């Protein structure tokens, strides 16, 4: 049993560890490819590496945001159309508190955490009363109210209304212009930490019940689970992650655009996990990478027709990879393994490697 443990642990985590190593080395590798010495990369001098770091930070923000949506939609089965609010509250609160109230970043983050709890509680109020598409519409309503508030002239002093929140003084040690490499690693560390936390949550007794709720809530109730509490737990964790992603967005982007509070931005989260694979967690990471790079690449090389081609690619992905990239990959590799196991059973001298159970 113990001898079995370490290889299977390695097998379980190797993909992520390799990805993590690649992400850690990325700024320097890109720098070297351009002929920039590591010292120049460390000094945040302008170049391809700095540009790629910026793009990667955006991918990390999208990944964290989509991850938070996967927890409530993909894992727990709650269809929310108001998820953009979870993100936008984090972003706008960070922007407004730093810009208009001059709070330091750490105090701002405490307020963001507090707000993330409040908004999860707000969504949970309607949970026992509405299910399925009705929950989606009620959450859409709540998020729309928030969107209107941000766009309103009355709050424009703090939110910048329809032009967006601009002119926030970035915290010195995370300034995206002068300290981008550090911001890159902070964003990476945040994403990795939250991903690990989510993974732990999904594997825990609590997370297993969330999956059961997605599968058959009536049965979960009959088993004796007060399903409301588990949905609330998922909402809280999801809201916290989304608000942190929003705070990161506020720190990185020069303008906090009001579109991040719109329905379109919720659909972005949905799209990312559809591309990557709903309910897989990893799918959020893969999906965010594909989503951001496709958008960037197409805009750069196709100009006007970018969004058309973009849409076409998404349609093709949904048709040919109905379980997303990660979901389809997992299913195919499982089928392959089962296939090999069957062949192995037919061979009388099969090696005793424990693969065929």
Partner 1 sequence: MSSDVIFEAVNLRKQFGALAAVDGVSIQVRRGSLHAIIGPNGAGKTTLFNLMSGNLKPTSGRVLFNGRDITREPVHRTIHFGIGRSFQITNIFPSLTVFENIRLAAQALGRDNFKFWRSATHFTRYEARTWEVIEQVGLTARAHTAARTLPHGDQRKLELGVILAPDPEVLMLDEPTAGMASEQVPELIALIQQIQKTGDKTIMLVEHNMNVVMNVSDTITVMHMGKVLAEGAPAAIAANPAVQTAYLGGLYTLSF
Q: Note the residues at the interface with partner 1 (CB under 8 A).
A: 200-201, 203-209, 211-212, 215-216, 218-227, 229-230, 233, 357
Please report how close the Cβ of residue 129 comes to partner 1 at its closest, in angstroms. Answer: 14
Beta bridge partners of 255: 166
Q: Which is nearer to partner 1, 252 or 323 (CB)?
A: 323
Please report how close the Cβ of residue 205 comes to partner 1 at its closest, in angstroms. Answer: 5
Please report how close the Cβ of residue 349 comes to partner 1 at its closest, in angstroms. Answer: 23
Q: Which is nearer to partner 1, 185 or 225 (CB)?
A: 225
**CA dihedral sign, ordered 113, 228, 215, 5:** positive
Q: Which is nearer to partner 1, 87 or 230 (CB)?
A: 230
Please report how close the Cβ of residue 203 comes to partner 1 at its closest, in angstroms. Answer: 5
CA dihedral of 72, 73, 74, 76, whole degrees rounded to 10:
50
Please report how close the Cβ of residue 62 comes to partner 1 at its closest, in angstroms. Answer: 25
Q: What's the rounded Cα separation, in Å, for the pair 29 and 26?
A: 5
Burial class of residue 169 (count of CB atoms within 10 Å of its CB; 0-12, 13-18, 19+)? exposed
Q: Which is nearer to partner 1, 83 or 214 (CB)?
A: 214
Provide the token pair at 281: 């967690």
Distance of alpha carbon 46 from its chain centroid, rounded? Answer: 28
Provide the token pair at 263: 């329905």
Which residues make Cβ contacts (< 8 Å) with residue 97, sequence separation at least 6? 103, 107, 108, 111
Q: What's the rounded Cα separation, in Å, for the pair 116 and 244?
A: 9
Q: Which is nearer to partner 1, 164 or 327 (CB)?
A: 327
First to last CA, the chain: 14
Q: Which is nearer to partner 1, 193 or 216 (CB)?
A: 216
Please report how close the Cβ of residue 353 comes to partner 1 at its closest, in angstroms. Answer: 18
Please report how close the Cβ of residue 251 comes to partner 1 at its closest, in angstroms. Answer: 28
The secondary structure of residue 163, as a DSSP letter, is: G
Beta strands in 298-355 (DSSP E): none
Q: Which is nearer to partner 1, 299 or 337 (CB)?
A: 337
């Amino acid at each position: 049993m113990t001898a079995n443990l370490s290889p299977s642990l390695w097998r379980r985590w190797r993909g992520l560890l390799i990805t993590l190593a690649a992400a850690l080395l990325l700024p320097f590798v890109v720098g070297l490819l351009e002929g920039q010495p590591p010292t120049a990369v460390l000094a945040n001098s302008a170049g391809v590496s700095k540009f790629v770091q910026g793009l990667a930070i955006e991918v990390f923000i999208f990944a964290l945001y989509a991850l938070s949506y996967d927890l409530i939609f993909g894992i727990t089965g709650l269809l929310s159309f108001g998820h953009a609010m979870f993100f936008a509250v984090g972003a706008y609160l960070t922007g407004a508190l730093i810009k208009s109230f001059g709070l330091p970043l750490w105090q701002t983050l405490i307020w963001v955490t507090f707000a993330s709890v409040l908004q999860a509680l707000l969504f949970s109020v309607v949970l026992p009363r509405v299910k399925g598409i009705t929950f989606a519409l009620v959450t859409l309503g709540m998020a729309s109210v928030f969107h209107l508030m941000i766009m309103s002239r009355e709050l424009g002093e703090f939110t910048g209304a329809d032009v967006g929140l601009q002119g926030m003084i970035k915290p010195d040690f995370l300034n995206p212009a002068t300290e981008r490499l550090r911001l890159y690693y902070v964003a990476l560390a945040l994403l990795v930490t939250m991903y690990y936390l989510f993974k732990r949550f999904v594997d825990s007794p609590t997370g297993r019940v969330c999956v059961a709720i997605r599968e058959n809530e009536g049965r979960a109730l009959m088993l004796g689970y007060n399903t409301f509490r588990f949905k609330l737990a998922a909402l809280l964790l999801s809201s916290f992650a989304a608000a942190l992603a929003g705070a990161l967005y506020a720190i990185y982007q020069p303008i906090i655009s009001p579109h991040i509070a719109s329905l379109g931005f919720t659909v972005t989260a949905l799209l990312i996990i559809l591309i990557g694979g709903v309910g897989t967690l990893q799918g959020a990471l893969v999906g965010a990478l594909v989503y951001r790079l496709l958008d960037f690449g197409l805009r750069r090389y196709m100009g006007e027709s970018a969004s058309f081609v973009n849409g076409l690619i998404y349609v093709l992905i949904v048709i040919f990879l109905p379980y997303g990239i990660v979901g389809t990959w997992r299913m195919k590799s499982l089928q392959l393994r089962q296939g090999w196991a069957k062949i192995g059973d037919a061979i009388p001298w099969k090696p005793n490697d424990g693969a065929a159970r």
